[in-house]
Structure formats: structure tokens, C-alpha cells
Amino acid sequence: MGLQGFFQDMPPAALGFSGGVDSAYLLYEAHRQGAQVQPYFVKTVFQPAFELRDAQRLCRELGIGLRVVQADILAVGQVRANPPDRCYYCKRALFSALGEQARQDGFSVLLDGTNASDDAGDRPGMRAIQELSVRSPLRECGLTKAQVRELSREAGLFTWDKPAYACLATRIPAGCPLDRDALNRVEQAEEALSALGFSDFRVRVFHGAARLQFPEAQLAEALARREEVKTAVAPWFQPVLLDLAGR
């Protein structure tokens, strides 16, 4: 079954919309097929500001209104404790909040952007969306990440080559409780490095220090510009470490 068949006769649906490659293409295709799909961005301290900006931009370009739902994810004790399966509790809390809002708005079906390349065994969050009966059209239709990127490029979506992005909570080691200050410092440090022209990197918290992980292709540049890199991150972390293994 293709996406056209999936959307045929589908009741009005709510889409958990991140502004990333997968959900962007899914929204585009739903719009192209004439399906009634309303995107929702669930805003928490785990999402950096640029994710919301990208979601808003994509919706503007498609002429679709975006609804933003605020969620205090750190109020969920099992998320704040940051266990190895934190993603399960987080995804369950977020889609439960989204489901409640969507029902109030008259939507009976929940969608997400999981694709056929996503490994359920490595993603506890997928168990949560399955338990909540969230449907994943890209996965159900067998569309892989590579296919979604190519189809997005052909469609002219600016998200087609957007790097995969894991939420800010992944920068904190499992078992270390999450707090708003640490997440904010990570976001600010990553914004500063982005302003230097780096991309697809991570600023990970390591015993209070920042452990920087750049793609291997950017490691030489990061080393050559180490004073710039250190200065950019210094307002939020001391010391600043460079992971030579890369991402």
C-alpha cells in the first residue's frame, strides 16, 4: 500500500509534527492527497528553538496552520529521572497530551513520522506509540529514510537534507537526572557552534564538561579552529572536550 491508498477515506487525523525530514514529507503528502491532517508541534524543553522555527516554516510554505501544544515534560518523574528507557516514558507522555488535545479538537486518529528504517528494537519510544494506537504511515507503507529524503528533494521541501536530530535530553548521560538549566546550556552551546558553520554535531554533558562530537569530515576543521570552538562554548561549559572518535 502506498501513501495515496493510506490517506484514501482516512478520517480527520492529528499529526505529531517535529519539522524533521519524515514528518515534513508526511504532511506534504497528506496535503497533496487532500487528506484532512492537522499538524501539532508538542513544545517541551527537549526541543531547541530551531525545530519549532522549521516546523512553522514548512507549514507556512504548505499553507497549513500549525498548532503548538506546550507540555511540561520534566514534571513526569520517570522522564526527569532519565533512565535508559526514558524515551518510552517521554513519548508516551507527549502523545498522551497530543491525543487529549486532538480529541478536544475533533480528531480521532493520531499519526507520527516513524519510517521503515527505524528499528523498533532500538527505539523504546516506538513501543509507546504502538501502545497508544498511533499510526505511522511511512512505516506502514514501507518508506525508508533514504526514500523519504529523495521524495522530499523531488518535492522541493527544504527539509530533504536536514540532518537527523535527537532531542536535547540525549545529551545527558542516562541515569543523570534532567534539569532545565543543563538542557538550556546544551541548546545555547549548540546554537553557538551552528553559528560557526558546523552541522550534525552534538554537545554532550560529561561530568560537567562539554564533550563535542563532530562528524569525521568536520573534525580537522574543529581542531584547526579549536580556539573559536572553545570560545563559543565557554559561556556555558568549562572545560570543553573534543571527542576524537567523531560521530
pLDDT digits (tens, 9 = 90+) for 99-125: 999 999 999 899 999 999 876 655 778
> Per residue, what are the HEC states of the chain?
CCHHHHHCCCCCEEEECCCCHHHHHHHHHHHHCCCCEEEEEEECCCCCHHHHHHHHHHHHHHCCCCEEEECCHHHCHHHHCCCCCHHHHHHHHHHHHHHHHHHHCCCCEEECCCCCCCCHHHCHHHHHHHHCCCECHHHHCCCCHHHHHHHHHHHCCHHHHCCCCCCHHHHCCCCCCCCHHHHHHHHHHHHHHHHCCCCCCEEEEECCEEEEECCHHHHHHHHHCHHHHHHHHCCCCCCEEECCCCC
| CATH number of domain containing 141 | 3.40.50.620
Q: Do 52 and 152 reside in the same domain of the chain?
A: yes
Which of 161, 190, 218 represents a domain boundary (last residue)?
A: 161
pLDDT for res 28: 96
Report the domain count for the chain.
Answer: 2
Indicate if 233 and 122 belong to the same structural domain.
no
16 and 65 assigned to the same domain = yes
Q: What is the pTM of this model?
A: 0.90
Per the structure, the complete domain to which residue 219 belongs is given by 179-242
What does the pLDDT look like over 222-232, one tens digit per residue? 999 999 999 99
pLDDT bin (cut points 50, 70, 90) of residue 247 is confident
Same domain, 131 and 44: yes
Same domain flag for 191 and 220: yes
79 inside domain: yes
